[in-house]
Amino acid sequence: MTDSVLVIGAGVAGMRAALDLARHGIQVVLIEREPVLGGVMASRLSDEEESFSFAHGVEVPKTQQIAAQKNIEVLTLAEIVELAGTAGDFTATIRQRARFVTDACTRCRHCHTVCPQVAPNQFQAGITLRKAIYTPFRDAFPSSYVIDIETCLNNPPNYMPCQRCVEVCDDKAIHFEMAAEQQLTRKAGAVVVATGFAVEGSGELDRYGYGSHPDILSYMEFEQLISPVGPSGGFVEKLSNSTSPENVLYVMHDASRFATGCAAAQCDKMADQEIKNIVVLHPSTTKEGDPFGTFWRRIARHSVALVEGEVERIAPIEDDQLRVRYKEANQPLSTTEDYDMVVLTTRAKASPGFSKTAAVLGIEHNGFGFVRAGQTIGGINATSQPGIYVAGCASGLKDVHETIAESKSAAIHSMRHVQARADKADTPIVTGHTGVMIDGRWLTDEQIRKRIESILLNLMQAT
């Protein structure tokens, strides 16, 4: 039996599961397909000052905690390509792409200054630009720069017309002679799938006028705008003229727990900035219904107006204003109002390439592309393969409370398949015993189940 667990995906769910496992003396191999940790919330999870007020007391993981945890091996730009063996004795083959920049990088920015190639910064939803050699945002982890070889003028090793970054790098950290990719092998007793979700492209928003004016934003663009490391330093500003908006329309396309959680957090941020008029246009539902009822309670302390209806048209007018026509429920005529900014939600989907990952792992997914969970022993975390567990939005969209709860329970289930090292644990662990040691107590399978149910209940009540 190995002492390692493989965690696939380093967003909120993957980082939480990795930290819980590592603190109990289990070696974690944490793989992430992007160059830095954090997933869709990367900038927030990397900011030490971020309070996560929307989490309401739930412990949200930070990338600094991962960096400080010696029991976690981080592999970025990596994906699993093969998994052999059975629960307790898996062998994973991992493909890792090159950063072309070593850990000797001190982030001096000399390379960034001279690089001639520019691309949208995908970590800030494309509202800012980056160079071909870049770090996505302040305090990103890993901290060294990375070269986007698809944007770079060079195509190593045979075509190297540009040496600007190499010439100015005093740290001698840039090496285009690195192999473009390498294959690694890691042993694991269990696997946690935490591949998260992705947001639908902006194409579905075109009919509302998205793209016709910089102050018509998708909610992911707005999320990056209000991030502490965003282009406006965490303040809501109009991209058209850098002024603070007084009237904001927030358009929701569904009332799921995930969508309402995002909306509540972003409305909190706007209200804290004392934006005078915030209107949420939402689909047909009832204010008492769950999860919309939870959303209603969370924003009740703010002067946020809720209007049931649908957008018909958004058109830019003079003075950087947006004229919105919408059809309010149970009203015969459409309403027209002017706003400084409009935020449009988009539907979420399974993480890109997840179907390929599912095929490698041999696990089933549902008709929406997410993991089919609850298949065997392991409850909501179980997949169709023993020893492989799912956490967070990889099995469907969830709010942060559900994500954290599932991550903790996935970590607990994974412990059943590994031999923890007492000398590596932050909390007491006794070896040579059947079961799992949690907080100094041995837990049977039944006790584990009850503990997971208790965690889920407490977190749901916290909302």
pLDDT the model gives residue 437: 46
Helix (H, G, I), strand (E, B) or coil at 56: coil
C-alpha 144/C-alpha 446 separation (Å) is 45
Q: Does 290 lie in the same domain as 217?
A: yes
- Based on the fold, state whether residues 329 and 367 are members of the same structural domain: no
Q: Which of 178, 211, 232 finishes a domain?
A: 178
The answer on 273 and 249 residing in a single domain is yes
The three-state secondary structure class of 78 is strand
Residue 80: C-alpha distances to residues 61, 99, 182, 328, 392 (Å): 23, 17, 12, 48, 19
What's the start-to-end Cα distance of the chain, in Å? 39
| In a shared domain, residues 335 and 264 | yes
CB-CB contact of 95 with 9 (8 Å): no
Task: Kindly state whether residues 316 and 171 are assigned to the same domain.
Answer: no
Retrieve residue 24's tokens.
Answer: 């109990």
Residue 430, both tokens: 């006794």
Indicate if 166 and 236 belong to the same structural domain: no
User: CB 72: neighbour CB atoms within 10 A?
Assistant: 21
Same domain for 325 and 251: yes
Ranges of residues in the chain whose predicted pLDDT is under 50: 288, 429-437, 439-442
SS3 per-residue string spanning 92-152: EEEEEECCCECCCCCCCCHHHHHCCCEEECHHHCCCCEEECEECCCCCCCCCCCEECCCCC
Q: What are phi and psi of 231, to 5 degrees?
A: -65, -20
Shared-domain flag, residues 299 and 271: yes
Range of the domain at 111: 99-178
User: Per the structure, how many domains does the chain have?
Assistant: 3
* Cβ–Cβ < 8 Å for 266, 304: no
Residue in the block written with tokens 């696990």: 363
Residue where a domain stops, chosen among 289, 320, 346: 346
Would you call 106 helix, strand, or coil by DSSP?
A: coil
CATH of residue 258's domain is 3.50.50.60
Tell me, yes or no, whether 333 and 359 share the same domain: no
Whichever domain contains 105, its CATH number is: 3.30.70
Are the C-beta atoms of residues 282 and 292 closer than 8 Å to each other? Answer: yes
Instruction: Confirm if 262 and 347 have CB atoms less than 8 A apart.
Output: no
pLDDT of res. 375: 59
pLDDT of residue 181: 96
Identify whether residues 113 and 250 lie together within a single domain: no
Longest Cα–Cα distance of the chain, Å, equals 74
The verdict on 236 and 385 lying in the same domain is no
Pairwise CA distance, residues 122 & 29, whole Å: 25
Alpha helices in 39-183 (DSSP H): 42-45, 63-68, 110-114, 164-168
Half-sphere exposure of 454 (CA within 13 A, CB side): 6
Collapse the DSSP code of 429 into the 3-class scheme (helix H, G, I; strand E, B; otherwise coil) and give the result: coil
Do both 8 and 144 map to the same domain?
no
At which of 178, 213, 238 does a domain end? 178
